[in-house]
Amino acid sequence: MTFKVYHSNGNPDYLMLFDFDETYYPHELKGWQLEDLYELEEYLERILHKKNIRIGWVTGSSLADIHNKMRAARMNYLPHFIASNLGTELWEINPKGEFYQNQEWRKRIKRSGFSHRVVEDFINDLRLIYGIQLQKQTQFGQQSFKMNYYYFIEDSARVKYDLDTIKQLARNSGINFNINRCNSLAGDPINAFDVDFIPQNTGKRAVVYFVMKQYRISVENTFAFGDSGNDVEMLKAVKHGYLLKNATEEAKQLHDTITADPYAKGIQNVCRIYF
């Protein structure tokens, strides 16, 4: 299946960022969700001929997972760039649909000193010294610069202490992290937290700032859409950051600008206000 790439007028005036899973892409693939998604795709393609907008997906998924999901949903369009694996990879896509890694971003990652050994030592310390167990997310595998774990809630009285301990020790070890409540609609287990470890100066918020600077886009002209706790830092980094109506309860407690409609319909209705 061949995908088209959204139209580009050259130097962008606006930046529009989307989380992928359960924001742009609905995992349940219901008929109404797909109809709304295809309508959103055509709407975005139309306005891109009139407005200079750079569109990107900023996601925890790998490039391979994204391609599989696009095929499953029979999606039509690729964005101008994809920040995959929680922004540890930044792929730019030319009009022919060819992918190129952003070399400046790649240099930043390599300079970070991040390694699997450092994270594995950290995980062992959590277990042996603090009694905190993290379980590898084996269904996704461990990526070069992103390591995925689950924290399962066994004693609700310990959750805050354990998560605060993980955050503080990760900071002390020079490891960046993402921790948010799992979303079963995205294929995660219930009663667990998603715990990801990534290099310093990466992640969704770092991607926003990097791309704004690269394309010289004013913060006033930045938009982002998400559905979970790991999107909130991205939403707060832009001028117009929206959680979708279908967002997790955890996310809604952290960010209060929420669309009136779920998924693609929520995105399109917000875009129509501004474009």
SS3 57: strand
Q: Which of 255, 251, 205 is nearest to 227 (CA)?
A: 251
Per-residue DSSP letters for 122-174? HHHHHHHHH----EE-TTT---SS-EEEEEE-S-GGGHHHHHHHHHHHHHHTT
Is residue 19 flagged as an active site residue? yes
Q: 13, 19, 21, 121: which one is catalytic?
A: 19
Tell me the pairing of strands 53-58 and 77-78: unpaired
| CA distance linking residue 89 with residue 77, whole number of Å | 20
99/91 Cα distance (integer angstroms): 6
Nearest Cα to 202, choosing from 79, 107, 108, 67? 108
State the catalytic residues: 19
